[in-house]
Structure 1
Amino acid sequence: MENKAAFYNRLTKQALALIDGESDLIANTSNISALLNMELEEINWVGFYFLKEEQLVLGPFQGKPACVRIPLGKGVCGTAIAENKVQRVDDVHQFEGHIVCDSASNSEIVIPFSVKGNLYGVLDVDSPNLSRFDQNDEDGLVSFIEELQKKL
């Protein structure tokens, strides 16, 4: 695999091209989740949750059926949105309050994102491998989301 910085740079350009000229958030996040599912290795779930009435609600995703609603502060996704901070978890089974949607998931990274300057939701990526996501993945996905949220 190419180095991760180059990989995420290319992935960001692909995603921006996919959503160019389209303003519908559902259409755009659907295509983005499909792109990430196609390009990221060793993952088993990728998708979006949207902040609605003090909880996260399932949005477009790729993978097995998922938890539909997640309370703020609960699980990896709920913690990420409550703290507005990336959560990179090497072993989800060691994360207090982890919500099991797919028992095959062992590590996870969750990146909060904003739409028009307002905290709007999270990008969630799960892997069946322990410690799948490193600092390079975090940096790459944060940059990916920072560029995309300018267009969402």
Structure 2
Amino acid sequence: MFEKESYDGTRERNYERLLKQLEALIEDEPNTVANLSNSSALLNQFLDRVNWVGFYLMDGEDELILGPFQGLPACLRIKVGSGVCGTAVSEKTTQRVENVHEFPGHIACDADTNSEIVVPLVKNDRVIGVLDIDSPELDRFDSLDESYLEAFAEILTKYL
């Protein structure tokens, strides 16, 4: 597979391999649940210093519902505009939060989470869900993570 994410200059190469592996994993599978399940497992294996990796999917126009994930049990429903996930949907932009305790309206599903990144899944100019990754570390995610996780979401969304 690949080594856990490292900070010695191989992060970009590891992320490139991750993207290739994602595409190979899902390109011939039409089932959304299977693809989201394997995608969350792949990211959970790849990323270090995280405690939750998964998806919330749109359920109607104003609410997200829990999808496939890796980690502790999570909040089932999140209103669009609420918390980090709901804000990512309403603003249709990635939310990279250094300290979730300072994020207005943060929804604490896991008390151990200190930072979070949420990437909207956009298909045909419509948000269909979000990729949500939590970490027990403050300021865990940087611009490189954001860039590659957005590319990950784009590849994944192409097959959903």
Candidates 4, 26, 48, aligned match of 2:11: 4
Structure 1 regions of 5+ residues with no counterpart? none
Q: How many corresponding residue pairs?
A: 152
Candidates 37, 55, 80, aligned match of 2:44: 37
Aligned residue number for residue 112 of structure 1 = 120
Aligned residue number for residue 85 of structure 2 = 77
Contact 1:8 1:144 in 2 (8 A): no
Aligned residue number for residue 25 of structure 2 = 18
Equivalent-residue separation in structure 2 for 1:76 and 1:85 (angstroms): 11
Residue identity in the other structure for 2:25:
L
1:119-138 Cα offsets, whole Å, 9 max, x none, are 20000000000000001100
- Does the alignment pair 1:63 with 2:71? yes
Secondary structure of residue in 2 paired with 1:10 = helix
Contact 1:4 1:140 in 2 (8 A): no
Aligned residue number for residue 146 of structure 1 = 154
* More deviation, 6-15/128-137: 6-15
Q: CA deviation at 1:75?
A: 0.3
1:89-146 Cα offsets, whole Å, 9 max, x none, are 0000000100000000000000001245532000000000000000110011011111
* More deviation, 81-90/6-15: 6-15
Aligned residue number for residue 35 of structure 2 = 28
Q: TM-score, normalised by structure 1?
A: 0.96
Secondary structure of residue in 2 paired with 1:7 = helix
Equivalent-residue separation in structure 1 for 2:139 and 2:115 (angstroms): 6
Residue identity in the other structure for 2:129:
G
Structure 2 regions of 5+ residues with no counterpart? 1-5
Equivalent-residue separation in structure 2 for 1:3 and 1:81 (angstroms): 32
1:13-67 Cα offsets, whole Å, 9 max, x none, are 1111111210111110000001111110000000000011210000000000000
Candidates 126, 139, 142, aligned match of 1:131: 139
Secondary structure of residue in 1 paired with 2:108 = coil
Equivalent-residue separation in structure 1 for 2:136 and 2:63 (angstroms): 26
Q: TM-score, normalised by structure 2?
A: 0.91
